[in-house]
Amino acid sequence: MSDNDFVVQMKGITKVYPNGIAANQGVDFNVMRGEIHALMGENGAGKSTLMKMLFGLEQPTEGEIIINGEKVSLSSPTVAIAKGIGMVHQHFMLVPSLTVAENMVLGMEPKQGNKLFINYKKAVEITEEFSKRYNLYVDPHAKVRDIPVGMKQKVEILKALVRGAKILILDEPTAVLTTQETEELFKELIHLKEQGYTLIFISHKLNEIKQITDRLTIMRGGKSMGVYETAGISKEDISRLMVGRDVVLTVEKEQAHPTDVVLSVRNMEYTNEWNKKMLDKLSFDVRKGEILGIAGVEGNGQRELVDMLFNLNVPDGGSAKVNGKNILGRPQREIRDMGVSLIPEDRMTFGIAGGGTIEENLMSDRASDKRYNNGVLFNLNAMHNDSDQLIKDYKVLCKSRKQLVGMLSGGNIQKVVVAREFSSEPVLIIADQPTRGIDVGATEFIRKKLVELSREGAAVLLVSADLNEVMELSDSLMIMYNGKIAAYFEDTAVLNDTIMGEYMLGLKQQSVEEIGGVVHGE
């Protein structure tokens, strides 16, 4: 295999930040034209930094980047786009209030005669032309806020193609898709590959990597651990290379024996600012010693439900009680004092104070704890010792407790959040997308801890878009669609991806009697 076979060559790439942290150390990353190439590794392995340099968001300290045989300096995303590189981010970069067509041409808008206003007709024509050309069908007139997640993913891909991308970086592209949407996306990616496009596929989902990619590069500790033909390497070997040890890909758990109702939600309603009903008379219970999973395509009320339970928003009606006491509208401090812990979906906004140290974040909810505060002075030694112990117990990779938490990788930030929330002796754990975007090692650890805490008596409400996760961890499971419970399963053993997908997409709906099983109290 010669250099002429590669459309992307990154040679000897090193990235050292001003604080001395080396994110990449002499990395070689080569991608062939017309292949789907996976980039894998633990959080903190250096994948994101490497791709940021390929897309011009950051520049290497050492090394060179060659695109189509030409050595280039990718000083900005604008330069990268001009070189035919596009990036589809894990978190969609779309404007919800604009139409699909308006988003498609944002920043390169066709103008009408006076050059002041967008030529909307032309924007629609561009959208329809590219949509048809690449078999990525979207509705150009729909507001982005009103379209399903799968269509948003297509819009993001089309945006890159409209701008001339021949090399596409796809960052966790299936994180929020149903099984059916994922299969549809894969067909479209293969269609792009057959037309000569080059796809770099970043994912932690090993089954998908095996299904869709041709080759894969594995990173660990900022270095490349090798390049492999996907068909010739097992999922177990991939995991071992990523984390440096054997990883258990399934979680064993004892049979649950739920007892008293801990969380009771009744007739909760909420209509958002766009007059869309996000919660429609929602009622359910979570019991002590039980993991109740909530599955559903994003945008069907899951986020709004979690927001209500932790006073990030206020419902239009209904109630929510923990051990018989109302929690709606209470200050978060009081909710925490009632034994409620939250692993938020958006860990960067709601899970940490990025400008604080690891210790400050671990201890942020302990200010009134008598172990750390005698009413006059803080017991700093206790804080230091307990922070160090949590860092050790939860395997947080860092220099020390004094390191700024915002400098950690996503997976290690999540471990800090989990360490704080799990160590507070919670009676109720609300886990919202607890393993999204983190590596197999951290995922294994967090899943085991959730099961362990539930078997010790905690009630767990698990919200996850990862079907394997929600089916594997949940003792019972409900599926949300359009703000309602579409289905409830007392036993998750009867479920598979197809059954789940039918309810998640609104193709099926259980009877009132079947759904009523999720209510155990009055």
Listing DSSP states for 444-478 in one string gives HHHHHHHHHHHHTT-EEEEE-S-HHHHHHH-SEEE
**412 and 459: one domain?**
no
Cβ atoms 298, 465 nearer than 8 A: yes
3-state secondary structure of 166: coil
DSSP per residue over 27-89, as a string?
EEEEEETT-EEEEEE-TTSSHHHHHHHHTTSS--SEEEEEETTEEE---SHHHHHHTTEEEE-
**409 and 450: one domain?**
no
Cβ atoms 232, 432 nearer than 8 A: no
Parallel/antiparallel/unpaired status of strands 22-32 and 70-72: unpaired
Domain-ending residue, one of 183, 215, 243: 243
User: Has this prediction a pTM greater than 0.85?
Assistant: no
Instruction: Please indicate, yes or no, if residue 51 is contained in any of the structural domains.
Output: yes
Q: How far apart are CA 271 and CA 317, in angstroms?
A: 10
Domain-ending residue, one of 212, 243, 274: 243
pLDDT of 277-292, one tens digit each?
999 999 999 999 999 9
Is the model's pLDDT at 58 over the cut of 70? yes
Cβ atoms 318, 281 nearer than 8 A: yes
Query: pLDDT band for position 215 (50/70/90)?
Result: very high
Tokens, residue 359: 């210790």
Which residue is associated with the tokens 């099983």? 517
Is the model's pLDDT at 325 over the cut of 90? yes
pLDDT recorded at residue 467: 81
Number of structural domains found in the chain: 3
pLDDT recorded at residue 466: 81
Centroid of chain to Cα 154? 18
Instruction: Please indicate, yes or no, if residue 351 is contained in any of the structural domains.
Output: no
DSSP-derived letter for residue 15 is E
**473 and 514: one domain?**
yes
**259 and 297: one domain?**
yes
**331 and 454: one domain?**
yes
3-state secondary structure of 287: strand
Tokens, residue 217: 């590069």
Where residue 484 sits, what CATH number does that domain have? Answer: 3.40.50.300
- Average pLDDT of the segment spanning 245-264: 83
In this structure, the chain runs to a length of 522
pLDDT recorded at residue 1: 58
Query: pLDDT band for position 230 (50/70/90)?
Result: very high
What average pLDDT does the chain have?
A: 90
Q: How far apart are CA 313 and CA 323, in angstroms?
A: 21
Domain span holding position 406: 358-424
Instruction: Please indicate, yes or no, if residue 346 is contained in any of the structural domains.
Output: no
Strand ranges of the sheet holding 85-88, from the earlier edge strand across to the other edge = 85-88, 167-171, 198-202, 36-41, 215-220, 223-229
489 C-beta neighbours (distance < 10 Å), count: 23
Element housing 497 (H / E):
helix 497-504
294 C-beta neighbours (distance < 10 Å), count: 24
Burial class (CB in 10 A: 0-12, 13-18, 19+), 436: buried
Is the model's pLDDT at 476 over the cut of 90? yes
Q: How far apart are CA 31 and CA 50, in angstroms?
A: 13
pLDDT recorded at residue 86: 94
DSSP-derived letter for residue 239 is H
Instruction: Please indicate, yes or no, if residue 159 is contained in any of the structural domains.
Output: yes
What Å distances lie between residue 469 and 135, 243, 307, 463, CA to CA? 31, 20, 22, 10
Q: How far apart are CA 365 and CA 357, in angstroms?
A: 14
**112 and 152: one domain?**
yes
**398 and 440: one domain?**
no
**179 and 282: one domain?**
no
Is the model's pLDDT at 498 over the cut of 90? no
Instruction: Please indicate, yes or no, if residue 348 is contained in any of the structural domains.
Output: no
Is the model's pLDDT at 2 over the cut of 70? no
